[in-house]
C-alpha cells in the first residue's frame, strides 16, 4: 500500500506556513521563510518524514500568487510532486473568508490535497508556463504597468491644475502635445502658481518625461522580442485583427501562453474574466451577474483599449456593438465587454491556427 506525506502550504512574501501530515494522521505545523534556504529546510523535513515512513510519496500544494512558481520548480527538481492551485476556484464559506489566517489556509489546502489523493476528489490546478514564457511575460507586464504609471501621472497633473482653477489656453488643442507640454513647463516656472504647487507640477512633469522615455525603450524591446521565432508568426497572425497592435498582441500571446491548452473559445473568455457570473439554486432560475474578472487584469486592460479601435474599424464588430447598444442604450459597458469577449476568442482562433502551422513546419 502506497503511503503519502502531504504538505499544504500558505506562501507569504517572507514568512510561510506548511501543514504536514502522513496519510490520515493529524497535521503538524512547520514554519519556514520563503527563501532558498527556507524552502530547502522544508524539503529536507519532508524527505526526512518520507524516509521515516518507509519511502512515502511526497505530495505538496500551494495557492498561486505573486511569489511565482519557484517553489514548484525546486520541488520538481528534487523529484517531489507539487501542485499549484488557483485561488479563484477554491470555494470558501463566508466564515472562512471572515476568519482567514495562514494556518487555516494551509490546513484547507492540505485537506483538499489529501481528499484528491485518497478519495479521488477533484483538485483544480493552474497551468504553469515554462521558464521562457515566464521570462517573456515580465517584459510585456512591465510595459503595461509603465503605461499605467504614465496615465496616473498625467491625471495628477490634470487634477492639480483643476484644483487651482488653471485652464489650458484655447489655442493649444489635443493635437499639439508638444505645445501643451511647453505650456505646462512654463507654468511650473512662473509665479502664477504658489511655490509648493509649482514644484509639485515640475516634479510631475519630470516623471512624465522619464516615463515616456522608458515607454519608448520598452516598446523597442518588445519589438525585438516579437521578432523571435517563437513569437513572430503568432504576433503577425494576431495583429491582422483591426485595432490589435504590437503591445496588445504580445500581452495576449504571453498571458495565454499556448492556445492549445484551451479546448473551446468559451474557455478563453472564462480565462480572461469577461464571462458573466451566474446564480441558480432551487427554484431560482439562472440569473446572470457581473463579469467574473478572473484571470490576468492586464489582458482585460489591453483588450478593452483594442476593442474601442476594433469597433471603429471592423464593420462586423461595429454592427454587433451597435445592435447591443440599440437594444439597451444604458448598457454600453455591457456591449463593450461583449466585444472584448468576442475579440479575445477571435485572437485565440488566429493564435491556434498559427501554432498548428508552426508545429507542422517543424515536423
Q: Give me the mean pLDDT over the 320-339 stretch.
A: 93
How many CB atoms are located within 10 Å of the residue 143 CB? 23
Give residue-wise pLDDT tens across range 197-244. 999 999 999 999 999 999 999 999 999 999 999 999 999 999 999 999
Residue 93 has pLDDT above 90, yes or no: no
Contact 10, 60 (CB under 8 A): no
Q: Cα–Cα distance between 272 and 191 in angstroms, integer?
A: 50
Q: Pick the closest to residue 244 from 137, 350, 149 (CA basis).
A: 350
Those residues with Cβ within 8 angstroms of residue 62's Cβ, 6 or more apart along the chain or in another chain: 8, 9, 10, 11, 71, 82, 83, 84, 85, 109
The mean pLDDT value of the chain amounts to: 92
Q: Pick the closest to residue 59 from 130, 127, 126, 123 (CA basis).
A: 123
Q: Cα–Cα distance between 103 and 22 in angstroms, integer?
A: 18
Contact 8, 62 (CB under 8 A): yes
Residue 300 has pLDDT above 90, yes or no: yes
Q: Which fold has domain 4-119?
A: Nucleotidyltransferase; domain 5 (3.30.420)
Give residue-wise pLDDT tens across range 146-159. 999 999 999 999 99
Residue 91 has pLDDT above 80, yes or no: no
Strand extents, DSSP E, the chain: 4-10, 15-22, 28-33, 57-63, 81-85, 276-281, 284-291
- Would you kindly state where each structural domain of the chain is located, as residue ranges? 4-119, 131-226, 230-280+288-361
How many CB atoms are located within 10 Å of the residue 23 CB? 15
The interaxial angle of helices 246-256 and 229-238, nearest 10 deg, is 120
Q: What is the pLDDT of residue 187?
A: 92
Q: Give me the mean pLDDT over the 305-329 stretch.
A: 95
Q: Cα–Cα distance between 64 and 227 in angstroms, integer?
A: 30
Helix, strand, coil percentages, rounded to 5, for the chain: 60, 15, 25
Q: What is the pLDDT of residue 95?
A: 66
Q: What is the pLDDT of residue 175?
A: 67
Residue 288 has pLDDT above 90, yes or no: no
pTM for the full model? 0.90
Which of 16-30, 31-45, 51-65, 86-100 shows the lowest per-residue confidence on average (mean pLDDT)? 86-100
Output b/e per residue, 74-113; b: 16+ Cβ within 10 A: bbeeeebebbbbeeeeeeeeeeeeeeeebeebbbbbbbbb
Contact 243, 312 (CB under 8 A): yes
Q: Give me the mean pLDDT over the 338-347 stretch.
A: 96
CA distances from 340 to 76, 99, 316 (A): 37, 36, 14
Nearest 5°: CA angle at 131, between 128 and 135? 110
Q: Cα–Cα distance between 15 and 236 in angstroms, integer?
A: 44
Amino acid at each position: 500500500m502506497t503511503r503519502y506525506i502531504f504538505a499544504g502550504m500558505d506562501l507569504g512574501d517572507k514568512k510561510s506556513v506548511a501543514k504536514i501530515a502522513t496519510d490520515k494522521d493529524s497535521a503538524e505545523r512547520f514554519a519556514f521563510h520563503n527563501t532558498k534556504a527556507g524552502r530547502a529546510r522544508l524539503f529536507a523535513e519532508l524527505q526526512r518524514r518520507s524516509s521515516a515512513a518507509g519511502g512515502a510519496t511526497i505530495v505538496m500544494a500551494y495557492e498561486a500568487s505573486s511569489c511565482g512558481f519557484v517553489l514548484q520548480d525546486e520541488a520538481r527538481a528534487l523529484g517531489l510532486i507539487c501542485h499549484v492551485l488557483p485561488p479563484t476556484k477554491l470555494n470558501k464559506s463566508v466564515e472562512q473568508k471572515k476568519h482567514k489566517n495562514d494556518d487555516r489556509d494551509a490546513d484547507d489546502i492540505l485537506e483538499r490535497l489529501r481528499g484528491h489523493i485518497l478519495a479521488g476528489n477533484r483538485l483544480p490546478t493552474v497551468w504553469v508556463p515554462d521558464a521562457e514564457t515566464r521570462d517573456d511575460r515580465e517584459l510585456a507586464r512591465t510595459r503595461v504597468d509603465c503605461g499605467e504609471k504614465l496615465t496616473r501621472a498625467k491625471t495628477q497633473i490634470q487634477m492639480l491644475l483643476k484644483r487651482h482653477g488653471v485652464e489650458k489656453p484655447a489655442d493649444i488643442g489635443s493635437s499639439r502635445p508638444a505645445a501643451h507640454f511647453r505650456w505646462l513647463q512654463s507654468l511650473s516656472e512662473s509665479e502664477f502658481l504658489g511655490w509648493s504647487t509649482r514644484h509639485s507640477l515640475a516634479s510631475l512633469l519630470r516623471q512624465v518625461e522619464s516615463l515616456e522615455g522608458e515607454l519608448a525603450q520598452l516598446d523597442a524591446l518588445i519589438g525585438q522580442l516579437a521578432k523571435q521565432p517563437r513569437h513572430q508568426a503568432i504576433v503577425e497572425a494576431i495583429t491582422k485583427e483591426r485595432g490589435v497592435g504590437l503591445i496588445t498582441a504580445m500581452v495576449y500571446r504571453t498571458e495565454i501562453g499556448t492556445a492549445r491548452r484551451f479546448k473551446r473559445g468559451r474557455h478563453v473568455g472564462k480565462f480572461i474574466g469577461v464571462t458573466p457570473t451566474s446564480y441558480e439554486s432551487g427554484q431560482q432560475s439562472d440569473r446572470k451577474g457581473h463579469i467574473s474578472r478572473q484571470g490576468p487584469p492586464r489582458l482585460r486592460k489591453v483588450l478593452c483599449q483594442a476593442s474601442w479601435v476594433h469597433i471603429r474599424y471592423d464593420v462586423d464588430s461595429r454592427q454587433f456593438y451597435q445592435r447591443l447598444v440599440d437594444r439597451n442604450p444604458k448598457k454600453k459597458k455591457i456591449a463593450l465587454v461583449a466585444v472584448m469577449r468576442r475579440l479575445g476568442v477571435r485572437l485565440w482562433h488566429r493564435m491556434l491556427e498559427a501554432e498548428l502551422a508552426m508545429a507542422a513546419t517543424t515536423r
